[in-house]
Chains A and B, each alone.
Chain A
């Protein structure tokens, strides 16, 4: 199923650039929203329509990925159908912890690649419109 909008949450400007480039190349019609930490992401989600997917970094200043997930689960009734974690390293118990949230569907290692977006699109398809 086609992805219409993605929210990218990452504090690193280069990673934001890579995500944007990869998504554009995958499907130029996808609307990209950018947030540099958890608080910015929550602000966007409060204002905008729920995106089809969220790509979320874990290690961010101010509000990190997990803090964001907590707040997102608490504050919002309707969640993005596909939330994918995107992180530099598989080390630690981050994966287990992230997968405990019902709306977290995938766990990718950086850099973002078009394969990752295919998987997300498929996951969105299973979920149904």
Chain B
């Protein structure tokens, strides 16, 4: 973008230059400063007509750059006609009367006729008028314009260089009529603008065009120099003869051959520089691509030297270890390792260098990494040895596997729990059935013996078995539901929910003996999953009722709830049997019955309580009281 813009500026600069030069010369011609003309006759090589034409050319090029079309094209018509007439005067040796039409020159310098422009100037006017008209009409660059600009440039540049090296023929195509320095500079500026502005649309490389232009100008100058040399030799009749060989050709040929060699060398340099540039671009591109791949890799990539000094790290390393790249590069890689690797790593490297026995290189394994904040985390590490220009470096690919490990652990735990669950259910499901089968066998015996009164007792025992079985199955359903059921959260009025749970227990034996008090504030509302919450409250209350102390004079249960530190705690306190210290570690575990003589529970109650609390993102807790127990759940409090 910037590049194009600067070339657009070149266009404006060229037009400004032409206008400025043209206007100054017009002024000079009109002012007729005789003293100046005497002191600097070369200044007046540029004729009045030429100055005017350059102003026209400059203005039209500006208009083209400003996006105008018809006007600049029309302006080129008189320029073309003037150029053609001026050239015709030289070629046909006629006088069309145009040289002094607008201004009669007060001096007559560097020309065959007063006010007449040189043939090369005239030719360049023709070429430029066509090029600018074409540019104006087409609105863009093309091959014809480039070719015209090319020719103009070569003619003008040769003239300029001719002045510099005093090679007259370069600006004087015809004796006494020369292209002035000012004109040559204006033509060079115009030609550069024509050739190089908008070149990208023609598909030509600017650099290539510039190189060809330079080379052609050089070759033309060379040819002119050869021609001049030959002319002087002829004119002055100088002949260099050594041993009968015409030395003129030797000297001239030397000029030509050395020039050609020089040209060839330039061409060679040009092509090899182009090649080098292309290779450098390729290299930069492939390096950039590689760097992009490495930097965008999900895994951390670290390289270290033989002494364990970190040489490079990618962006992922910063994410994984928390260090900025500059904090790692140049340090020993053991900074990223916790003990015992931290202290042992230098030893590992030393061992490997001595024995070449790889413990990790080329193998890869799970290790531990240490973050900047000191946190140690599991890491998958793969190390490869890289031989590079005689030096050995090691590249390590690291992947933070904390999440995977946590998932694995959770999966193993869940699996173990499920296995335990399957084992215990199969056992506890069959237990009442096996018992009932035994009782059935005994009943048959009794029936055969006619011992009918005893049969009633058998039926009662069997009923107990089936009730147990039913209770167990109900609990299993609850567990499964806690595990699987998706439930939406909703606002729960805690006091109402507790009151309902208390009512639901009224069928239990001993219910009437126990004082149950609901201290939950009426306004307390929590956003949670209602049916899981019901399971929790029901469980806590029924446990408190079942395990009350029958010897206690005033068995009591108190239900409380309060908010603290962004959480909600619900507690159920009793003055019941409590949990013996030896059994407390079994609380909340699956199939653990802590009061076997008191109740035929399934051993799942507290397990269900814990699982339900966990499903709500909370925890279940136990505290022993002086007399009795306090079971609590802590839940996250959304509002």
By a beta-carbon cutoff of 8 Å, the part of chain A in contact with chain B is 11-12, 14-15, 17-18, 21-22, 25, 36-37, 59-62, 87-89, 91-92, 109-113
Contact = CB atoms under 8 A, between A and B. Distances in A.
Nearest to B583: A62
A17 B597 CA distance: 16
B431 interface: yes
B430 to A, nearest CB: 4
B575 to A, nearest CB: 23
Contact of A111 (B427, B437, B597): B437
B402 interface: no
A113 B593 CA distance: 28
B613 to A, nearest CB: 23
B435 A25 contact: no
B358 interface: no
A38 to B, nearest CB: 11
B227 interface: no
A111 B435 contact: yes
30 contacts: A11-B596, A12-B431, A12-B435, A14-B438, A14-B439, A14-B461, A14-B464, A14-B465, A15-B435, A15-B438, A18-B435, A18-B438, A18-B439, A18-B442, A21-B442, A25-B445, A60-B596, A61-B592, A61-B595, A61-B603, A62-B594, A87-B427, A88-B430, A88-B431, A88-B434, A89-B431, A109-B434, A110-B438, A111-B439, A111-B441
Contacts of A60: 596
B423 interface: yes
A111 B596 CA distance: 20
A110 B435 contact: yes
Interface string B410-437: 0000000000001110111011001101
Contacts of A59: 424, 427-428, 431, 591
A17 B461 contact: yes
Contact of B596 (A21, A25, A36): A36
A111 B433 CA distance: 9
Interface of B: 422-424, 426-428, 430-431, 434-435, 437-439, 441-442, 445, 461, 464-465, 583, 591-597, 603
A111 B430 contact: no
Contacts of B430: 88-89, 110
Contacts of B591: 59
Given A12-B435, A17-B461, A62 B596 contact: yes
B427 A89 contact: yes
Nearest to B445: A25
Given A14-B461, A89-B426, A110-B431, A61 B594 contact: yes
Nearest to B446: A21
A92 B427 CA distance: 10
B419 to A, nearest CB: 9
A114 B437 CA distance: 14
Given A12-B431, A59-B428, 4 more contacts: A11-B596, A22-B438, A89-B426, A111-B439
A88 B437 CA distance: 12
Most B C-beta atoms less than 10 A away, residue of A21, A89, A91: A89
Given A18-B439, A18-B442, A61 B593 contact: yes
The 4 closest A-B pairs by CB, nearest first: A111-B438, A110-B434, A18-B438, A61-B596
A112 B436 CA distance: 12
Contacts of A11: 596
Nearest to A15: B435
Nearest to B433: A88
B181 to A, nearest CB: 109
B487 to A, nearest CB: 32
A55 to B, nearest CB: 13
B406 to A, nearest CB: 29
Given A25-B445, A61-B593, A61-B594, A112 B438 contact: yes
A91 B423 contact: yes
Contacts of B595: 61
B599 to A, nearest CB: 11
B434 A111 contact: yes
Contact of A37 (B434, B441, B596): B596
B470 to A, nearest CB: 15
